[in-house]
Amino acid sequence: MNKIRHLTILGSTGSIGESTLDVVNRHPDLFNVIALTANNNTDKMLAQCIQFRPRFAVMLDADQAGRLARAIDQTELDTIVLSGIESLEKVASMSDVDVVMAAIVGAAGIRPAFAAARAGKLILLANKETLVMAGRIFMDKVKQHGATLLPIDSEHNAIHQSLPHDFDGNLPGKGIRRILLTASGGPFRSASLDSLAHVTPEQACAHPNWDMGRKISVDSATMMNKGLEVIEAHWLFNAAPENIQVVIHPQSVIHSMVEYIDGSVLAQLGNPDMRTPVAHAMGYPKRIESGVSSLNMFDVAHLNFEKPDFERFPCLRLAYRALEMGDNMPAVLNAANEVAVETFLEEKMPFTAIPAMIEHVMNISERETMHSLNDVLKVDSAARDAARDWLGTFRQTA
Ligand code: NAD
Ligand code: MG
């Protein structure tokens, strides 16, 4: 990598967004920030604009964009402030941007990710929901427009690092038997099953190893996160569901593994800090400093492994089921999960209602084949309505 990379960071005020800017800050000679985007955190966005001087700052929310524009007027910055989903698509596809970090959380990230794919960008994909909702359609768009995908999710980044450099989407052809996707098991790995009905959002968001946004933290507590990652691995690496084995590994030191037919198992290890996969993808194929400290094996001392328990983690079972059913089912699963997590975080239903809501929505949703992003958005919206309807009846009977 010799020329400077021009960057759009979608979701710059989030956990992955901040890790990305931390890596950018270490390499002013390698990266130039063209655009930053956020939902509504204007104060953080203003601080990021002052530090990184982007050409564009996009707030999804128009009122917040107005606030930001007025604040920027008080500085000597010439950052242009925009708002709305079309502006997110614009900064993800502009001709002077080479690299798009897709780090918006949830289904909200799908339209800008598609815009980046259509514009043939190098996409650093943290927003796993795009692949879960629209796997085949998104992968086809990437191929059709000559875009490149590099995974930011630590597991998929580890798998990418453990695959042969010339991996072409043919696992058996490269002598690969299966993928071992590691999972920490989250904060409730060994809590009593009875106690799960009473856990609070704060307990669910207190992940033992990773510091992340609230939605993915709850997903880690239900292990839906691992379920979404199984679907993500299926699309990224063309792996059949039966060749993706989830392995609970509470220390989160091995970030995932690839097993070859000769019995070799290649793994990527490191401290649980997202700046490692972020720096790996940002510098790719060159290795660059990330600020992550050396892994101290003597402090780690033990690496443990367990089989996942589908009774404790019904969301993981539902995700495998959605992947096996195919068509619109992963999009239905994702939409119902987003409503379920939001509702739990608002303390309007218990933690244990999350899988119940998702299973209900999957059971009542008709199977259909999706052909376009528009089809995906319609499935997403119908599944959200079905989840809210279920909540109405659940709250009456609870
Ligand atoms: P976060 O909640 O910390 O940040 C989300 C970002 O998206 C923020 O900048 C927010 O302003 C923006 N955003 C939220 N809603 C939006 C909307 N409707 N429209 C536009 N922008 C919106 O989330 P995060 O933990 O950084 O996760 C981001 C993505 O990366 C998720 O898809 C998550 O699954 C994935 N991921 C995160 C981690 C991690 O360690 N945090 C690890 C692996 C994968
Ligand atoms: Mg992950």
Tell me how far the alpha carbon of residue 161 lies from the centroid of ligand 2, in angstroms: 15
CATH at residue 338: 1.10.1740.10
Is 178 contained in some domain?
yes
- H-type alpha helices, the chain: 15-26, 42-52, 62-73, 85-93, 110-118, 128-144, 154-162, 201-205, 214-222, 224-237, 275-283, 297-300, 314-325, 329-345, 353-364, 373-397
Q: How far is the CA of 181 from the centre of ligand 2 (A)?
A: 9
Nearest protein CA to atom 12 of ligand 1, as residue: 11
Which 3 state secondary structure label does DSSP give 15? helix
Q: In a 10 Å sphere around its CB, with 0-12 CB exposed, 13-18 middle and 19+ buried, how is residue 303 labelled?
A: middle
Residues 137 and 51 in one domain: yes
What's the 225 CA to ligand 2 centre distance in angstroms? 7
Q: Which atom of ligand 1 is nearest to the CA of 112?
A: 20
Q: Is the pTM of this model over 0.85?
A: yes
Please state the atom number of ligand 1 nearest to the C-alpha of residue 214.
2
Residue 349 in domain: yes
Look at residue 259 and tell me if it is in a domain: yes
For ligand 1, atom 20: residue with the closest CA:
39
Q: Are residues 213 and 337 in the same domain?
A: no
Is the same domain home to 198 and 89? Answer: no
Q: Kindly state whether residues 129 and 223 are assigned to the same domain.
A: no
Distance 226 CA to ligand 2 centre (A): 7
Q: Which of 151, 183, 213 is the last residue of a domain?
A: 151
Residue ranges around ligand 1 (CB below 6 Å): 11-17, 38-39, 41, 60, 103-105, 108, 126-129, 153, 210, 212-213, 215-216, 274
Buried b (16+ CB within 10 A) or exposed e, 335-348: bbbbbbbbbbeeee
How many domains are contained in the chain?
A: 3
Do 306 and 333 sit in the same domain of this protein? no
Q: How far is the CA of 127 from the centre of ligand 1 (A)?
A: 7
Our CA angle for 263, 266, 271, nearest 5°, is: 145
Asked if the structure places residue 289 within a domain, the reply is no
The b-or-e profile of 125-134 (16+ CB within 10 A means b, else e) is bbbbbbbbbb
* Mean pLDDT for back-to-back runs of 10 residues, the chain (398 residues): 88 98 98 97 98 98 97 97 98 98 98 98 98 98 98 98 96 98 96 95 93 95 98 98 97 98 98 98 98 98 97 97 98 98 97 98 98 98 98 86
- My answer on whether 147 and 166 are in the same domain is no
Q: Same domain for 166 and 262?
A: yes
In this structure, the answer to whether residues 147 and 167 fall within a common structural domain is no
| For the CA of 210, the nearest ligand | 1
Closest CA to 345 of 101, 61, 33, 105: 105
Q: Is position 286 within any domain?
A: no
**Are residues 145 and 20 part of one domain?**
yes
Same domain for 11 and 129, yes or no, is: yes
Which residue range(s) make up the domain with 51? 5-151
Q: Any idea which ligand is nearest the CA of 125?
A: 1
How many whole angstroms separate alpha carbon 280 and alpha carbon 48? 22
Q: Which pLDDT belongs to residue 3?
A: 87
Determine, yes or no, domain membership for 189: yes
Q: Report in angstroms the alpha-carbon separations of 323 from 22, 67, 83, 224.
A: 35, 43, 35, 13
Q: Tell me the CA–centroid distance for residue 153 and ligand 2, in Å.
A: 5
pLDDT of residue 17: 98
> Which atom of ligand 1 is the closest one to the Cα of 154?
43
203 and 126 in one domain?
no
317 domain residue, yes or no: no
Indicate whether 65 and 127 sit together in one domain. yes
Q: What was the pLDDT predicted at 398? A: 73
- Out of 151, 183, 202, a domain closes at 151
